[in-house]
Amino acid sequence: MYFNKLLFNHHRLLVSGIISGFIALCLLSANSIAANGTLYYGESIKPDTLDPYTSREMSSLRLSELIFNGLIGINESQEIVPELAESWEVSTDKKTWIFHLRKNVSWHGKDNKPFNAHDVVFTVNLVKHPKTQSSHKTQFDAFNSVLALDDHTVKFSLTQKSLNSLSLFTFKILPKHKLSRYKYLNKLSSFSNQPIGTGPYSFLSSNTNREITLLANPDYFLGSPKIKKIIMQPFSDKNIMNQALTFNSLDMVVDVDPRHIDELQADSRFSLIGYNTLSYSFFAYNHNNALLNNKLIRQALSYAVNRKQMLKAFYNNNGAIISGPFAPGSWAYNLDVIPLDFDSNKAIALLKQAGLIKTPEGFIDSHGKPVRFNLKVPIEKNNESNKKIVLAYKNYLNKIGIEINLVFLEKKSWKKAIFAQHDFDITFATWAFDDASDIDDIFHSRYNTAWQNNFISYNNPKVDQLLGLALASTDHQEKRTINHKLHEILAEDSPYTFLWSLTRFAAYTNKLKNIQIHPYKFFENAHLWEFK
């Protein structure tokens, strides 16, 4: 047929043209992948803002570590190292601190403005401004006043002496000349999206995807960084991020999902580096529930759970099982308290002792009602291991005859149910700590109202008293003894089933060397990293 032929010829031309165009484009771009001297790293959360104060996202904090400096820093072995300050002195009452600043530091940017004491004063006042939105504000409340004695000397006076005052001065310094027209800082400030600092890398650009490009700062005062460019790429799907790493589209992944650790460990092209986080996971029991208010039942639930098996099956043993309310890396953790072993017989015995009656269908309480708890868990798409843990937990308790009603809630509703309404029996969560290891707000009975951290309504006068003592104490040794005692009591009382503190892993290609990773700051010594 005539028209068919015509039609066909017409299109064959067009089609072959377009297809060959496509192929040519593909080849072109395939050749240009992997520019040398550029480090691509993947994050699962896109950063919110890029200044060090307005965001709470870890990804933002990690980036600000590359862009900014503090007066002093804490290195990966928890030692204080000088950064923008060369040296410092302290008065005998430990309330006045004088810092001598480096003289040869300049801010990023073409104008090379020098860094001086006025920037420090400006930063403190900016963050202390009541309208500034920042999670760091409490830290700044410790400063009574700040004074620039001359261009390179700053004097701080503190409101009260405290245990580790020096760690107060790790805050990041902002440039006065860029921010002088701001009275306070919020997420809208253009500075928060195009920051300028003194750090090893300067901000170059970010696109709609929040893919952020940083350029090496050749004038960095601790030595010019070896890697020319660092590019941060956010991924919404962790599987794809891992795939990108294994096919060399990424050089580093900051937080490897537990399910990919095996695979990466076996791959000789990559190194995994573990970093301990000061955090732990737990199942929390609502003490408003009459049954869960009973210590024996809480202990029984802790005995019924095989934590070793879970840690092995879900995390490949990359973590430490804990016995009490502190992170095992911290000085407050009492190593003498041994974690409860898995013992389902003991669990059943304890439940019977608590007055529950065992029937073939499971435990019933004294009114003959089956024992049944609501376990409320947030839906977290990117954190599948949480789902596994709660499923396994449900399974363990089912085996000893306790029914668990698992409710998955969308994250915001979960927060509301747990923290505001205290409407749950059991929940699964994780606490993260800083160096202070303060558990006052978690277990003290005065924090049991809505949106406070003692959401389980835990009330133990002895614990309250010890917490008060610990807070008032200024002697490190004394505080440690109190905390060890607290650890003992809380381990026995089991308000939570303490699970474990996990080791997180960063993965990077072996093309990189000199990598050291700081537990939560991550890029602490990135200027020393280099490609082979």
Partner 1 sequence: MVSWAIIKPISRAILKELGATVLILFIIAFSVFILLFYSPNEDMLTAYLLMISENMPVNEELDLDNIDFTSAFILWITAVLSGNFGLSLSNGLPAMQQSIEFMLNTISLIFFAVLLSLVISLPFSALIIKNNQPITQKILSFGLNCLSFFPLFWLAYLVIFLSGRLFDHFPLVQQSETSGAIFYLLPVILLAIGSGLVLEITQQVSYEVKRVSKEDYIICARAKGASVFRHLFKEGIAFPLLTLLSNRIAYLFGATIIIEQIFNWPGIGRLLWQTTQSRDLPLLLSAVLLTVLVIRIVQFMSRMCYVLINPRASHE
Partner 2 sequence: MELITLCYATLVLLTVCTFYLCASFGFLPHDPEDLALDQILAAPLNTEYLLGTDYMGRDVLTRLMLGTEAYFLPGLLAVSLAITLGSILGAMTIFFTRNGKRIINLLNNCLQSMPRLVILFLVIAIFEPEIYLIMLIIGISHIPSVARIVNNRVNVLKEKSFINSAIASGLPIHTIMFKHILWFNCRGILAAQASLIMTEAILMETSLSYLGFGVQEPASSWGNMIQAGANYMLQGEIWSSTIPAIAVMLVLSALYLLTHLFINKLDKQ
Residues that bind partner 2 (CB under 8 A): 239-240, 242-243, 259-260, 263, 309-310, 313, 379, 381, 384, 387-388, 391-392, 394-395, 398, 406, 408, 410, 413
SS3 of residue 312 by DSSP: helix
Q: Is 408 among the residues that bind partner 1 (CB under 8 A)?
A: no
The string of DSSP letters for 58-95 reads HHHHHHHHHH--BSEEE-TTS-EEESSEEEEEE-TTS-
Q: Is 7 among the residues that bind partner 1 (CB under 8 A)?
A: yes
Name the binder of 8 from partner 1, partner 2, none, CB < 5-8 A by kind: partner 1
Closest CB to partner 1 among 49 and 494?
A: 49
Residue from 76, 211, 438, 488 touching partner 1 (CB under 8 A): that is 211
Q: Is 450 among the residues that bind partner 1 (CB under 8 A)?
A: no
Name the binder of 391 from partner 2, partner 1, none, CB < 5-8 A by kind: partner 2
Using CA atoms, how far apart are residues 100 and 71, in angstroms rounded to an integer?
Answer: 9
Residue from 126, 196, 231, 512 touching partner 1 (CB under 8 A): that is 231
Residue from 239, 421, 465, 474 touching partner 1 (CB under 8 A): that is 239
Binding residues with partner 1: total (CB under 8 A): 54
Name the binder of 331 from partner 1, partner 2, none, CB < 5-8 A by kind: none
Using CA atoms, how far apart are residues 297 and 352, in angstroms rounded to an integer?
Answer: 9
Tokens of residue 131, six digits: 């309208």
Closest CB to partner 1 among 43 and 425?
A: 43
Name the binder of 186 from partner 2, partner 1, none, CB < 5-8 A by kind: partner 1
Name the binder of 309 from partner 1, partner 2, none, CB < 5-8 A by kind: partner 2
C-beta of 395: minimal distance to partner 2 in Å?
5
Residues near 370 by Cβ (< 8 Å), separated by ≥ 6?
Answer: 361, 362, 363, 364, 403
**Helix 258-266 crosses helix 384-400 at what angle (to 10 degrees)?**
110
Residues near 222 by Cβ (< 8 Å), separated by ≥ 6?
Answer: 200, 527
Closest CB to partner 2 among 212 and 245?
A: 245
Residue 231: count of CB within 10 angstroms of its CB: 18
Element at 157 (helix H, strand E): strand 153-158
Closest CA to 73 of 65, 62, 85, 81: 81
Element at 215 (helix H, strand E): strand 212-216
Angle at the Cα of 433 (from 173 to 81), degrees rounded to 5? 40
C-beta of 67: minimal distance to partner 1 in Å?
18
Q: Is 412 among the residues that bind partner 1 (CB under 8 A)?
A: yes
C-beta of 28: minimal distance to partner 1 in Å?
6
Please say whether the beta carbons of 517 and 214 come within 8 A: no
Q: Indicate the burial class of 494 (C-beta count within 10 angstroms; 0-12, 13-18, 19 or more).
A: buried
Tokens of residue 263, six digits: 């695979």
Q: Is 237 among the residues that bind partner 1 (CB under 8 A)?
A: yes
Residue from 81, 147, 149, 240 touching partner 1 (CB under 8 A): that is 240
Q: Which residues bind partner 1 (CB under 8 A)?
A: 1-4, 6-8, 11-12, 15, 18-19, 22, 25-26, 28-30, 32-33, 35, 38, 40, 48-49, 186-188, 193, 205, 207-211, 213, 231, 233-237, 239-240, 243-244, 246-247, 249-250, 381, 410-412
